[in-house]
Amino acid sequence: MAATTDPSPQQGPDDADAAEAELAAQRLRHALGPVTVVRSTALGGGLYNTARLLELADGRRLVLKTAPRADTPALTHEQGLLGTEAFFHHLAARAGAPAPTVLHHEPVGPGTPAEWLLLTHVDGITWDAARDRIAPADRAALRHRLGECLARIATVTGAAYGYPRPSVGLSGPDWPSAFTAMLHAVLADAIRFEVALPAPPGLLADLPVRFAHRLAEVRRPALVHFDAWEGNIVLARTGNGPWHLSGLIDGERAFFGDPLAEFVGLDPLGSAEDDPDLMAGYRSVAPGLTVDTGARTRLALYRVYLALVMRVEAVPRAYGGEFAAWLDTWSAERVTRQLGVLDALEA
């Protein structure tokens, strides 16, 4: 088993990075045998896991992701997330979507206080980093392609609804029961972390009961990435040629449920279901998708859920500064607005 000793609190930034690089090399040898790392670089952008780009003497480029220690405060569903990510990438690739190849997953165990995951590196840059360089025609083509990929992922059917890891306990034989467990878990997390909610807890907890008939319209547990925003989509191009979608990354938030939930995760600040390019791409694979009253009701429920997750996670992750203030305001407004949408749709 690879050593997993954390850097000493007395170490400076350079020493800590060197220690992390050595630990990464040890884990790499544990997974792949005798290999030589010629460059090890910390990757930024993540809010939960840490990641390093490992460049090998044989030319391979790999990514090592490490979760927080298992005893780190986290939301109820945040258990074994890298195992979920490995599972998601296997299934997504099998469905024909571009995803990194999983080389090794090490769960928490004796001598391993934090799980880790080794993946192939997806070459390119994230969509959000490339946004200002993408021409409108390229953007339309990319959104169409993204819709295709997400529809292919949704063709994968799970054995049950909800989060896939049994230890989390947030799954069920049907979508109403699974979604109820998911929503009630984040409400319980709000109590545990003393997070003020933007609406009465009882009103929020009753939403799955109130709209159970709409949730029951979901008859198949489809695979959902639920975090496919532009920061988790990698683009690439040759020279000044057109951009193409080279990979969908960071699948640790995946679950099985309503495929419509994907549109909430990929556009948490907007309404992706109203994007004609994205929807045309999706319907090229799944022509039966409709956005009727029932669908818009469920979308509003998923927007409430995601806003609550983002609001509550700010405490255990110790967000601060302007981002924390923005998230507090945005999540409150988002929940309030979606509750209004639900009232209007019900009427």
CATH assignment of the domain containing 151: 3.90.1200.10
Q: What is the mean pLDDT of residues 22-47?
A: 85
Give the model's pLDDT for residue 5: 31
How far is it, in rounded angstroms, from Cα 325 to Cα 23? Answer: 35
Residue 279: count of CB within 10 angstroms of its CB: 19
Give the model's pLDDT for residue 229: 95
7 belongs to a structural domain: no
326 and 241 together in one domain:
yes
Q: Which domain holds residue 209?
A: 125-346
How far is it, in rounded angstroms, from Cα 235 to Cα 135? Answer: 13
4 belongs to a structural domain: no
5 belongs to a structural domain: no
Q: What is the mean pLDDT of residues 245-261?
A: 97
As given in the structure block, the two tokens for residue 233 are 């989509």
Q: Which residues pair with 162 in a beta bridge?
A: 171, 256
192 belongs to a structural domain: yes
133 and 114 together in one domain:
no
Distance of CA 75 to the CA centre of its chain: 14
Q: Identify the DSSP state of 132.
A: G
Q: What is the mean pLDDT of residues 47-56?
A: 90
Q: What is the mean pLDDT of residues 101-123?
A: 94
Q: Which CATH number fits the domain that encloses residue 91?
A: 3.30.200.20
Residues 321-347: pLDDT tens digits?
Answer: 999 999 999 999 999 999 999 999 998
219 and 321 together in one domain:
yes
Distance of CA 137 to the CA centre of its chain: 27
As given in the structure block, the two tokens for residue 291 are 């956005």
The label of the residue with tokens 């992706």 reads: 272
3-state secondary structure of 293: helix
139 and 219 together in one domain:
yes
223 and 258 together in one domain:
yes
Residue type, position 315, single letter = V
> Which of 313, 310, 305 is closest to 68 using CA atoms?
313
Last residue of a domain, one of 120, 139, 168: 120
Q: What is the mean pLDDT of residues 303-325?
A: 96
Give the model's pLDDT for residue 3: 31
The Cβ-side half-sphere exposure at 41, using a 13 Å CA radius, reads 10
The Cβ-side half-sphere exposure at 237, using a 13 Å CA radius, reads 14
Last residue of a domain, one of 120, 139, 162: 120
Give the model's pLDDT for residue 7: 38
272 and 199 together in one domain:
yes
84 and 52 together in one domain:
yes
292 belongs to a structural domain: yes
3-state secondary structure of 47: coil
2 belongs to a structural domain: no
217 and 275 together in one domain:
yes
Last residue of a domain, one of 100, 120, 140: 120
226 and 334 together in one domain:
yes
Do residues 287 and 297 lie in contact, with contact meaning Cβ atoms separated by under 8 Å?
no
8 belongs to a structural domain: no
Contacts of 58 (CB under 8 A, 6+ apart): 35, 36
Q: Which residue has the higher pLDDT, 23 or 106?
A: 106
107 and 148 together in one domain:
no
pLDDT exceeds cutoff 60 at 189:
yes
Q: Which residue has the higher pLDDT, 154 or 4?
A: 154
pTM of the model: 0.92
Give the model's pLDDT for residue 4: 32
112 belongs to a structural domain: yes
179 and 50 together in one domain:
no
Residues 267-286: pLDDT tens digits?
Answer: 999 999 999 999 999 999 99
Domain count, the chain: 2
Do residues 231 and 131 lie in contact, with contact meaning Cβ atoms separated by under 8 Å?
no
Q: What is the mean pLDDT of residues 34-61?
A: 89
Confidence of residue 13 (pLDDT cuts 50, 70, 90): low
pLDDT exceeds cutoff 90 at 25:
no
130 and 22 together in one domain:
no
